[in-house]
Amino acid sequence: MVRCASVLLLAVLAQAQTPTYKYNFDEAKVANYALPDPLTLANGQPVKDVATWTAKRRPELMALFEDQVYGKTPAGHTDIRVTPPLIDLKALKGKAVRKQVTIYFSDRNDGPHMQVLLYLPPGNTRVPVFVGLNFSGNHTVNADPGIIMNDVWVTDPLDPKKRLHQQADERTRGSNATAWQVEKILARGYGLATVYYYDIEPDFVGGLAESTRMLFPEPERWSALGVWAWGLSRAVDYLLGDPRLDPKRIGLIGHSRLGKAALWAAAQDHRFSLVISNESGKGGASLLKRGFGETLDHLNGAFPHWFNPAYKEYTGHPEKLPIDGNELLALIAPRPLYVASAAEDLGSDPKGEFLSAVNVGRVYSLFGRKGLGVTQMPLVDQAVMHDVGYHVRSGKHDVLEFDWDQYLAFADLHWHPTGK
């Protein structure tokens, strides 16, 4: 009996210590919320032209995201070195040129570094390229036996709280191929460059000690999302040195947390000229203030390293946050921007992602560009695309072939790739 009571007490205590982060999945319970307006200056004046947007409003929004959300990206670069590329001109049975480099962020070979995997269609013409961080290692994006098996971080099977940094398991080669569609992208005349995001900062509480952030002053004032975004720009620095790449057509894609990082990277780096947010959810394209799906409390509680210290102050008070996802999207304007949701990905709040994409249309209009052109959510599996694009795919939180089909159509629309 005593034992029973103490077991019960332990269970109650454990429950008290583990916050539950209740998500609301009931549309009827979404209360009224005030969406911050990208086209109103902090002094209350409306933004009516591109000049005011560029000189005043955009810098105001950038400062808010730096101060309150992702942390300010430190100025200057570390001591960057790139190894000579390992090139295979006949990769994927002659359908691709494959290049692989290591980018070291300091003068130490055992310090932070990332590996870039680049695929280009064969030939001599300049091509557009998609850039994106991957979740599980470069070798997972395609079964190509030529992709170098680098070290990955895995959970220790003996202690789920511990992480091990070790050589990737050969059996995981190509395990994320569906999400990357390498052959399809190449056949359409585009290149693809990818980096394993853990190379830049391993994604767990305590990962900061192993992060590239440690090379900069006050790393704890920045954030994991901030340094992942920074890493994407360092990949572009390298890519621009490749004569096969068209510097004006560098696209950026990110899924989920890596979609959040991609949006923040594109907000800061205009070299990304077309941007795709695949289910980036709350803290990304979606609207946090719309009380549906993942909460700010969950973001801060489960992933404290993703955001900067100021963001923690909004725990329990998303209504006080001075910005929302629509304003993150506004920082991409007027570049082509595609936002995608998945019908079953309720945590990301598909409707919140859609409304955000609708709202940013006003900023695109300022530039004479066309936003979504609809105010009702399209049916599942039906894309709308102008300068802003959107679809809600049937199914779960993921990147699937259907998603890439829309992204390639969107890229064709804006880039008219060579040979078409």
Running DSSP on this structure, what letter comes out for residue 377? P
Nearer to ligand GCU, 283 or 350 (CB): 283
Q: Which of 223, 256, 277, 286 is catalytic?
A: 256
Q: Under rule CB under 6 A, which residues in 74-113 are in contact with ligand GCU?
A: none
Which residue from 136, 256, 268, 278 is in contact with ligand GCU, where contact means CB under 6 A?
256
CB of 207 to ligand GCU, least distance (A): 14
Residue 57 interacting with ligand GCU (CB under 6 A): no
Residue 73 interacting with ligand GCU (CB under 6 A): no
Nearer to ligand GCU, 135 or 367 (CB): 135
- Record the tokens describing residue 81, joined without a space: 């070195």
Residues sharing a CB contact under 8 Å with residue 276, sequence separation 6 or more, in sequence order: 130, 251, 252, 253, 254, 262, 337, 338, 340, 407, 410
**Residue that the structure tokens 């050969």 belong to:** 170
Q: Under rule CB under 6 A, which residues in 399-418 are in contact with ligand GCU?
A: none
Nearer to ligand GCU, 191 or 283 (CB): 283
Residue 397 among the catalytic residues: yes
Q: How many CA atoms lie within 13 A of 393 on its CB side?
A: 21
Which residue from 139, 173, 213, 282 is in contact with ligand GCU, where contact means CB under 6 A?
282
Binding mask 341-380 for ligand GCU (x = CB under 6 A): ------x---------------------------------
- Record the tokens describing residue 13, joined without a space: 């205590």
CB of 136 to ligand GCU, least distance (A): 12
Nearer to ligand GCU, 347 or 389 (CB): 347
Nearer to ligand GCU, 44 or 160 (CB): 160
302: enclosing H helix or E strand: helix 296-302
Which residue from 294, 349, 353, 403 is in contact with ligand GCU, where contact means CB under 6 A?
294
Nearer to ligand GCU, 245 or 296 (CB): 296
Residues sharing a CB contact under 8 Å with residue 365, sequence separation 6 or more, in sequence order: 371
Rg of the chain over Cα atoms, rounded to whole angstroms, equals 22
Q: Site size for ligand GCU, by CB under 6 A?
A: 7
Residue 257 interacting with ligand GCU (CB under 6 A): yes
Q: Is 98 in contact with 146 (CB distance < 8 Å)? A: yes
Cα angle 224, 141, 73; round to 5: 20
CB of 134 to ligand GCU, least distance (A): 12
Read out DSSP for 166-230? EEPPGGGTTTTHHHH-HHHHHHTT-EEEEEEGGGTS-SSTTGGGGSGGGGSSSGGGS-HHHHHHH
Binding mask 262-281 for ligand GCU (x = CB under 6 A): -------------------x
CA distance 383 to 392: 8
Q: Which of 106, 175, 365, 397 is catalytic?
A: 397
CA distance 329 to 185: 25
Helix axes 58-65, 257-268, angle to 10 degrees: 140
Catalytic positions, written as ranges: 256, 397
Residues making contact with ligand GCU (CB under 6 A): 256-257, 281-283, 294, 347
